[in-house]
Amino acid sequence: MSFSKWLSLFCFILTVGNVEICNSQTAEKPNILLIVLDDLNDYTGFLGGHLQVKTPNMDALAKEGTVFTNAHTNAPICAPSRASFLTGIYPHVSQNFWFTDWTENEVLKNCKSLPLFMGDNGYYTLGTGKLMHHRVKSEWHQYGIPNTFGPYAFNGKKVVPHPIMPKEYSTDKNDGLFTSLANVPNIPQEGKFPGYNGWFDVANRKPFKYVDENNRDLLNDEQHAKWAVEKLKTLEKTESDKPFFMAIGFVRPHTPLVAPQKYFDMYPLETLKTPVIKKNDTDDTYYRSTFRWTPPWAKHLEELAASYPTLNDGLKKYLQAYLACVSFADAQVGKVLTALNNSKFKDNTIVILTSDHGYNHGQKDFLYKNNLWEESTRVPLIVKAPQIQSSIGKRINHPVSLIDVFPTIADFSNIKSSNLKTVNGKPLSGYSLKPFLENPEQDNWKGPDVALTVVRGNFKSNKVNEQSYSVRSKKYRYIRYVNGKEELYDNEKDPYEWENLAADKKYKIIKENLHQQMNFLLSI
């Protein structure tokens, strides 16, 4: 008799005797399903960041789980964020602040990534999509479909701007593309370029078939959802004592903002509401002055404004595409959750859903991520633990961050072993969120009272003291830039962070306290 069958019989006997210590499969080792979206801010139904957004599947998960309403990224751009939370190490601890290959970082290469850690502790690990930059397939038992961003317009030899997009806003192949999949590009022959009619899958160097909505190739995220659903069905048929750890990285709503037409139809331009933006909101901010040059991502809003009759017209077009991609990604999440709920794993699987960072939609003259304000640092975070009934539907406002995902998964999995490969690694930086689920009404958490975020402040240095940082408490945000400039916001009274209070003497003690908490975390 296998261990799992023996345990099931043991649980049945105890239940008959009115003693319930088991749930299903293995009570000590639940399955883990981690779902990571890309560039998703609080524009979800359950967070209410945009009142017109439609995310029924994520909203349903939020009702079944616990929502951390004050969750934040530790680095508001893809590569360092993912390298951090999938190794469990703060960016300032590893000094990995940008797109450097994490496998070459002296700290991170000597720590176990989350899939390697889970695999070394009895889990069968499966992953697909955009999880880490600089992917290492060997750290998984099974790795599915690599992430791709497209499809793109193509001139027969290389990616080119889509002809439907304004020329002023064509910063690169990703950020300069936001349109429906139904707008099939037709690039005429020009010079040595033969031209091309249709979308093109650049990553796989092949045409992307699109005849209509019912006759087309699957987009990358659809492929990931299909792969995950098929793997869940296969796992159900497999007799194994091993629990599974499955991670799915959906790339939307990352640019290019391309999705099927039906998702664009959900957001008619004539009724679409753009974010509330304060005129001259950057006058008391210091992000741009931290650089000796203007970063290209800081120019996106200007480029959008130059592309349309009014800035609001441009923001509507961009926002429509972003929301369409959010709803498209939500549909893929729904496919996976439906498969899980229809499987035998439903009651013994911890589900965690989050994003690598947020995104600004014109606030503070920003149309991008990689800043230290609320829109870029805040992320959705849901933890569903079916065996903890008291946490269902609860909302936690205590500040937490993505660094806490790794220790939370380890805690739910009852894994006590080290995350270190060698002595040159570092212990996990975060804390398990499980206490919040066990006692939602009490604060029994051992972690900090602020969430720490870093933005690279000096592109010639990886020194900790030459970067810019933010901490977010329950009520305030404090920002300290590399040039010494400061910002302070009362997010309870000023949720849009319109008034910088750093120079106000009435807030001196509050600012100093947040500064001390920041310095304490940076000393770890």
Q: Give the mean pLDDT of 378-392.
A: 95
Q: Which residues pair with 470 in a beta bridge?
A: 453, 479
**Nearest-angstrom CA–CA distance, 189 and 385:** 56
CA dihedral 150, 155, 158, 161 (to 10 degrees): -60
Report residue 3 as tokens.
């261990």
Give, rounded to a whole angstrom, the gap between the first and last alpha carbons of the chain.
48
Q: How confident is the model at residue 167 (pLDDT cuts 50, 70, 90)?
A: confident
Q: Which helix (H) or strand (E) element contains residue 34?
A: strand 31-37
pLDDT digit string (tens) for 342-384? Answer: 999 999 999 999 999 999 999 999 999 999 999 999 999 999 9
* pLDDT tens-digit readout, 298-336: 899 999 999 999 999 999 999 999 999 999 999 999 999
pTM of the model: 0.93
The pair of structure tokens assigned to 5 is: 């069958």
Predicted local confidence at residue 156, as pLDDT = 95
| pLDDT tops 50 at residue 107 | yes
Size (the chain), residues: 524
pLDDT for 524 equals 86
* Mean of per-residue pLDDT scores for the chain: 92
- Give the per-residue pLDDT at 171: 72
Task: Give the closest residue to 380 by CA, choosing from 70, 77, 84.
Answer: 70
**Domain range summary for the chain, segments of one domain joined by +:** 3-150+219-522
Cis peptide before 30 (omega within 30 of 0): no
pLDDT for the residue numbered 115: 98
pLDDT at 442: 74
In this predicted structure, what is the pLDDT of residue 422? 97
What's the token pair of residue 443? 């604060």
Q: How confident is the model at residue 257 (pLDDT cuts 50, 70, 90)?
A: very high
Q: Which percentage of the chain shows pLDDT scores above 90?
A: 86
38-74, pLDDT tens digit by residue?
999 999 999 999 999 999 999 999 999 999 999 999 9
Q: What is the pLDDT of residue 291?
A: 85
256 prior amide bond cis, ω within 30: yes
pLDDT band at 426 (very low <50, low <70, confident <90, very high): very high
pLDDT band at residue 282 under the 50/70/90 scheme: very high
What DSSP string describes 399-434?
-EEGGGHHHHHHHHTT--S--BSSTTS----S--SH
CATH of domain 3-150+219-522: 3.40.720.10
Would you state the pLDDT for residue 9?
38
List beta partners, residue 383. Answer: 66, 352
The reported pLDDT for the residue numbered 441 is 81
Cα(363)–Cα(35) distance, integer angstroms? 27
Look at residue 6 in the predicted model and tell me its pLDDT: 39
Question: Can you give the pLDDT at residue 295?
Answer: 86
- In Å, how far are 4, 10, 310, 387, 389 from 17, measured between CA atoms? 20, 11, 72, 20, 22
Question: d(Cα 272, Cα 266) in Å, to the nearest integer?
Answer: 10
Helix (H, G, I), strand (E, B), or coil: what is residue 436? helix
CA–CA separation, 276 vs 312, rounded Å?
11
User: Could you read off the pLDDT of 469-497 as tens digits, one per residue?
Assistant: 999 999 999 999 999 999 999 999 999 99
